[in-house]
Every structure is written in C-alpha cells, then in structure tokens.
Amino acid sequence: MNLSQTQYCYFLGIGGIGMSALARYFNALGKVVSGYDKTPSRLTSELEKEGINVHYDENPEMIRTRISSGEWTKENLLVVYTPAVPKSHSEYVLFIGLGLNINKRSEVLGMLTAHSMTIAVAGTHGKTTTSSLITHILINAGMDCSAFLGGITKNYHTNFILGKTLQLKAEDSQQLSAAGQPVRNTIVVEADEYDRSFLSLHPSISVITSLDADHLDIYGNKDQMDKSYSQFASQLQPGGKLIINKSVEDQLSYIGLYLSYSVTKMADFRAINISIENGIYTYDIATPAGVLEKVSLGLPGLHNVENSLAAVAVAYHMNVPEKFIRKALTSFEGVQRRFDYQLKSGKIIFIDDYAHHPEELRACISSVKQIYPGRKLTGIFQPHLFSRTRDFAEGFSQSLDLLDECILLDIYPARELPIEGVSSGMLLNKMKSKNKMVCPRENLINELKSRKLEIVLTLGAGDIDMLVNPIKEFLMKEYGD
C-alpha cells in the first residue's frame, strides 16, 4: 500500500466500529473516502456529516463506471473490507474479479502501525474500555497519541483520535528524521481476535484483558483460540512488554517476562482497600514501584476497576507521572454502550451496555446489583449471533438468571443464517428464573408500561441500541421528576 499514491479509499462495511475509525483516518488525511454498509446507523450518519459518501444498496455498476472511466485505478484506489461482509457480496466479487488490491481492515491497521510505537489491547471483553482509558491517560500526560478504538469515547466523542505525528506526510517524516527530530508516533489500537485479525499487529506493548471462549465459529475450540492469543503475545517488538490479566496466565503459552494485574489475585498491579460510594470506586493501586493511594475511577463497575489496572500498568511502563494517571482515572467518562447511564434519578435508573458474552453479562449485572443493592433489576437482552447463542447457551442462561426480571428479544443474526433449534426461546427454557419472557421488539414499550420498574438494563451487541432512545423517552415520561 503506497499512501502517497492513494487518492481514493473505498470501505466495504464502512459502518463497523473498526472500519469507521480507519475511514476517519483517511478522510482526515484528505483522501476521498466512500463506502457501503448494509443499514444506516448513527455512526454512518456521522460519517456522512464528515463528508464521507455512504450508500446502503449493493451497487457494482457504480464501481464499474468509476473504474472504466479511469477515475479509480489500481494505483490510486485502496479497497478495505471487513470479514463480516460475505464473500458473495456483489461489490466484493467485482473487486476480486477486476484484480484490484483489496485488504482486510486488520491488514491496513497492521501496515499503519508497523513503524509506530503501538499499544495493542486484546481480550474477549474489556479491551474497548481499557484501550480508551490508556488513550485518555496518554493525552492527559501531553503525549502525541493516536487511537483506533472499538467504541465511541465519551471524553472525545469519537472512536478515532489523530495525533500530530500520524498526520505527517511520508516525505515530511523522512525530512524530520534526517534532521534528528523524533517522529515516531504512539498509536493505541483495539486488537480484535475475530478472524485472527490481531495477528496483523506487532506491538511495542501488548495487553490481554481476558481469554474466555468466544468466536468458536472461527476457532473451532478454546484450545485453538488460546494458541492464537499466545501467538499474538509472541509478536511483541524486541524489547516490548506484555501485560496480562492474572486470570489468563495459565492459558497462554508464552515464554518471556510480563507484568500481571488483578482485583482478586496477587499480581504486579492490584487494587486494594476498595470502597464504593454512590457508584464511585475509590482504591489504592499496588505497583512494583510502590502504592498509588486513594485513586477514584470516573465510571462504575468492579470490572472497570480491573480494566483501570491494565491501563495504569501501561502508563507506568511508559513512565507517565502519577499526577496525570490520577487525574485521567478521575476524569474518564467511559465509552458509549459500556455501563452507559441513560437516566439516573431517585425514581428510575436506566443503563445501556454492549455485553454480549456470558461473562460480560455476569460482570455488568453483578456490578449493577452491587451498586444498587435491594433494588429490582429488569434486564432486556438481545442475543448476538446464532452460533454464539448455541455455543454458550448454558452460560447465558446462568448469567441472565442474576436478573430479577428478564425480557429477551429475538437473536440478532449479524452475518449468520438461522440455525435450527437455536432461538431466544431456547435460552428462556434453560433459565431457572420465573420472571422471564421473550418479547417482540415492537411490543417492548407496551410490555415495559405494564411493569413497575426501578432499574432498567439494556444488553446486547446487535441493533438493540436503536431501542435505547424510545425506552429513555418512555421512562422520562413515566418516571420523570
């Protein structure tokens, strides 16, 4: 990929959280960016406002016209796709048939970060919050930092942050380097394990937050997934540092030194003297260099306390002064759809969360119950993928049983076709709770009207986010002060 020759960038699946971050990067560089996505969303609307053309119907003829006219050529066009787009997609088929360069998102991200000081955060859950918090700490410390994130940070209202050095043209970087000026940018990336995408990265610092079984449609079994994570861990740059959650220690085949962190086990970085007041956690952080006393975290959830330990471990390794770490932890507002308060009053609490794995559900629900003991918790969950629902049905049912009331929506299929016998009703039958039901999404508001609600929690990675505003409007009208 020769970016100096690239004039046009086309994205197949531009509305994805990772794809849109890359699209924003190239748009910021002045490239002409456009793309396809299956459905409009809040994110695609934002891209269009930023000057990126997005269409929602497969349009191979438009592509053929631009190529035949000479506007798009092999030399000036970069095509990026996500594996979530099926290989039968007519535009994908056309690009392949014409012999144009077509790259996975992970490949492009690997090329962009190849010559940077890259901090890559991997894990089946926790990576978005952790990578966003690392970015926030570095920015607070005044470091030149870029970031490609898997969620919209509330502090910066974006999933992409462009540092000064990453904006430099290649020739400018070469001139500065020849003059003896440092031009190596720090880039924070969320390292996605889906389709083994994170194996395109060779970081200077790698973080592994968790290693629960997931994406078994790709890996086949947990052992193969562990092997891919072990390979990711081994791809550190010479002199690099691996930072891992203590819980994954026995699952990695990694030979080398590393730093560990935990809220429950002895580790290099651990939270001690934890207290909670009004949903805010205060704690001390024991580090190899001493104790960072009485820090406060700006977002709720014990699992987020653990995520903060990973971010602090990265900051310590990069010699970030304690005053910037402390300030960043307190001022961090979190990420949209990660324990995301929509309403918070004496009458009603409404929290939206992206949780779509049994362990994520367990962590989120347990945190809500810890913060609001004794209050009734009504959860609305949309399962994501037929294969994930099938593979972890027992875990899902056990986690959902932690709710006082559970409303299940139909499975969001994403890239998959239905699997016989796999449905939300299957999960319902496995649950032991008596207060449970499957509800068509069009009936959800009426169902909520029939209940006395105290805490409402929406959960899932599909299009349940499209229901957040209608639920919020109803709750404000019904329970507003």
Q: What is the pLDDT of residues 206-218, one digit of tens each?
A: 999 999 877 777 7
Q: What three-state secondary structure class fits 405?
A: strand
Rounded CA-CA distance 227/220 in Å is 12
The residue among 297, 331, 365 that closes a domain is 331
CATH of the domain at 459: 3.90.190.20
Answer whether residue 103 shows pLDDT above 60.
yes
Answer whether residue 173 shows pLDDT above 90.
no
Rounded CA-CA distance 341/363 in Å is 16
Joined tokens for residue 52 = 């990126």
Averaged pLDDT of the chain:
91
Q: pLDDT category, 174, cuts 50, 70, 90?
A: very low
Provide the residue range defining the domain that includes 414: 340-479
Answer whether residue 309 shows pLDDT above 70.
yes
Same domain, 318 and 347: no
Same domain, 199 and 250: yes
Same domain, 243 and 388: no
CATH of the domain at 22: 3.40.50.720
Same domain, 64 and 198: no
pLDDT of residue 116: 87
Same domain, 299 and 391: no
**Strands (DSSP E) found in 288-339:** 290-296
Same domain, 147 and 261: yes
Rounded CA-CA distance 183/160 in Å is 20
Q: What three-state secondary structure class fits 286?
A: strand
Q: What percentage of the chain has pLDDT greater than the value 70? A: 95
Give domain status of residue 246, yes or no: yes
pLDDT for 424-449, tens place per residue?
999 999 999 999 999 999 999 999 99
- Distances from the Cα of 379 to the Cαs of 330, 369, 408, in angstroms? 28, 12, 8
Q: pLDDT category, 28, cuts 50, 70, 90?
A: very high
Give domain status of residue 2, yes or no: no
Rounded CA-CA distance 472/210 in Å is 32
Tell me if 328 sits within 8 A of 136, measured CB to CB.
yes
Answer whether residue 383 shows pLDDT above 90.
yes
Give domain status of residue 1, yes or no: no
Give domain status of residue 22, yes or no: yes
Q: What three-state secondary structure class fits 461?
A: coil
The residue among 77, 103, 129 that closes a domain is 103
CA atoms within 13 A on the CB side of 433: 22
Kindly give, in sequence order, each residue whose CB lies less than 8 Å from that of residue 194, ignoring residues fewer than 6 positions away.
83, 215, 218
Joined tokens for residue 374 = 């004794």
Same domain, 89 and 119: no
Tell me if 217 sits within 8 A of 196, measured CB to CB.
no
Characterize 159-197 residue by residue with b for buried, 16 or more Cβ atoms within 10 angstroms of its Cβ, and e for exposed: bbbbbebbeeeeeebeeeeeeeeebebbbbbbbbbbbbb
Domain total in the chain: 3
Higher pLDDT pick, 257 / 10: 10
